[in-house]
Amino acid sequence: TGFINFAYKDQAFPIGEGQTISQPYTVAFQTQLLEIKRHDKVLEIGTGSGYQAAILLELGARVYTIERHRNLFLKVQTLLPSLGYKPNFYYGDGFKGVPSFAPYA
C-alpha cells in the first residue's frame, strides 16, 4: 500500500541502484513535450523502472531503451514483457546510444 500512495506524491521515487524515477507530473510533462506520433522511433537513455518506456509504447512509439545498471536492466527486461510491453532493450552506456537504429524522432 505504501507504493500506491507514492504514485500521487510530487516527488521522485527510488527504483534501486541509487536511482530514482522523476515524479509522475514531470514524466507526463516531458512526454507531452515530445509530441510523439504513432510509429515514431524513440531512443530512451536510462530504462530505469521501465515506466517511461511503457508510456511511450502506449503512445504508439517504437522504443529503443538502454540501461547501464545491470540489475535494473535484468529486472525491467523481464517485467515489461510480462505486462505486455516490448521495447527494444539494450544494456550499456547511454552516452553511445544505439546508432545502428538512428535516426530517432
Whether 100 is a known active-site residue: answer no
Q: Which residues of 60-77 are buried (b: 16+ CB within 10 A; e: fewer)?
A: ebbbbbbbbbeebbebbb
Contacts for 13 with CB less than 8 Å, ≥ 6 apart: 6, 7, 20, 21, 23, 49
Residue 39, CB-side half-sphere exposure with 13 Å CA sphere: 0
53, 87 in Cβ contact below 8 A?
yes
Distance CA 61, CA 44 (A): 11
Catalytic residue among 22, 49, 82, 100: 22
Which amino acids are annotated catalytic?
A: 22
